Amino acid sequence: MPLKTVTLYASELTATAPAGAAAVCQASFSAISCLGLTKANGTIIFEAKCDVPAYLDSSKDNQVEITSSGGPDTNEWGVPWMGTINLTTSYAEYSMSLANALTAGGELNPTGINFFRMYGFIKTGTATLYVRNVRLRYMPKPYGGLTVQIP
């Protein structure tokens, strides 16, 4: 089976925060089914930038998250991104495996993904985080992972 790519949210999200706070880009949307998505076979892909990347705090737990609860911290998979990707002042595409995703508030339901969030803590000054074109890529299991018995 070929890899499947599903767009979660295409529009631009922006968030500005001062030192000590997090710039939080987030969006709720109608539930999207990614039947067969697992942490082992999934990748989250997005475009992002920051107007002053040097102001991002690398000592904090900055994450990219997806949920099936319509909001943060419940039925969530989150992937820490600081140190894995290096944002610049221009949009670039980033791809992060879900293999090391952290679970918060119970497991994500892959057939009902309806929330995305990316945040970065600011260590000094004020900075703006930008995110767009959020997608998931995964290898669907044949028959949606169901066991099929042929008589």
> Which pTM was predicted?
0.90
Digitized pLDDT (tens) for each residue of the chain, 151 residues in all: 689 999 999 999 999 999 999 999 999 999 999 999 999 999 999 999 999 999 999 999 999 999 999 999 999 999 999 888 899 999 999 999 999 999 999 999 999 999 999 999 999 999 999 999 999 999 886 655 555 555 5
> Quick one: pLDDT at residue 149?
54
Q: DSSP secondary-structure letter at 56?
A: B
CA–CA distances in Å: residue 39 to residues 18, 36, 83, 96, 104: 33, 10, 20, 11, 14
Beta bridge partners of 48: 92, 131
The pLDDT, as a whole number, for residue 83 is: 81
